[in-house]
Chain A
């Protein structure tokens, strides 16, 4: 079957965007730079993401352009994300793409953007992990995923150089709960009895202020790292929700049932208990069982808040991106059932295993 092209105007707009980005980089690098190819990557919910192949002074060079969308799943600061990438690239704790430039003026490409070096190897698709050829690599990837997260947890935010642009909350759990509860109450298009029950539970069971602070990625899950067909993680992506907080937040988020089609394997990779074991060995940190239980319930509430916010964005925002509707409809449905399983006194645990 012949391939249907996108419309001529869409193609020319895409080409025009790439050409202007290449011209911008030519000025930035002070060397000739020409666009060879551009394509948009699906799934960029928080930023429009494009892959560009460039001829940089006679050498093929791949970059990733991240441009602010008219509307986004998560309201985040682009400068915050860019500075986090810079800090993480310099720290070399985990692989991240090298940031090239942040442009906050809108007039260059209609909206602010950042550009990073493209990681040549790897894909992010969660479903790709279920392919038969990945059977022998899932465990290896899981080991890397939670080992890297443990390493991040073990390093102080000050040594990463993020404290000059990120606040350090006195009580991370209270801070995060206040923020995400407000998102739900501000953005919900219909009353949310399950979310409200979760908020009450979290308020009543708030753990003491965290003993250990770390840089929290904020969205550390399968789908936000690149992996190769040989089972290697080549890059950790999507740092827009990074903040200083309790490292248990990332661990709990990474284990949320939302990221696992089956009940046993966290993020399609490792049994939950094994993932926790790897994280503990890597971080060297103890896990307070009561606090960890709190962070797991919180993770499910935060997920729900993001989906509720995206539904609001779809209905009232300026864009009608299908991914916002997807997040705001089937994802709310699933996350509600996960929270119900976690909080209901007579839970059947059909969608979430009992908390560890």
Chain B
């Protein structure tokens, strides 16, 4: 039987933003497996992003248990959770959030720097990674000199720099045109299928749902539907149809 990389059981979460707490997640059970592309979908306010935060250990749930490789992470403090994220997770943000003052290479080097890799080795490896995502010709470009698709590839390279077992992506195609979006999903699908990484994507982009191995549909903080496909189709085929 396949063992879950991340397991969330009985997870609920509320925000104390006003006089009465607002409950955004109710009794959620989710498991994330290596080698799969899991998509969290749902309308705005359904709780999908909060669930991503909780699975990515950026946020501790109000109740419930989140385990990572079978170990409970509930009792960990902020710095311990940060160390955990550094060790196991790679994040791809909707707005990319690259350092505008650093070149593409240097942006990727930041992740390696956090891991304690020496500067010279980090530079070489950052360049290798950028070349591998097709940015060999933009190594020394600043984010402002890159297109949206290129910026996202830098963000993906940065997320991969630490060789994470788990990739968390928030709306990775929201700011991309159709072709760039499919290329990004193709890359993430490949990272899951060929490299046995667990990839979790939050999206409300209907174009990419078909490429997920599993789709969890959230509504009003609860799981409304779970869909599984034997193996999502390749976005490259979809690109051919564009």
A and B interact physically: no
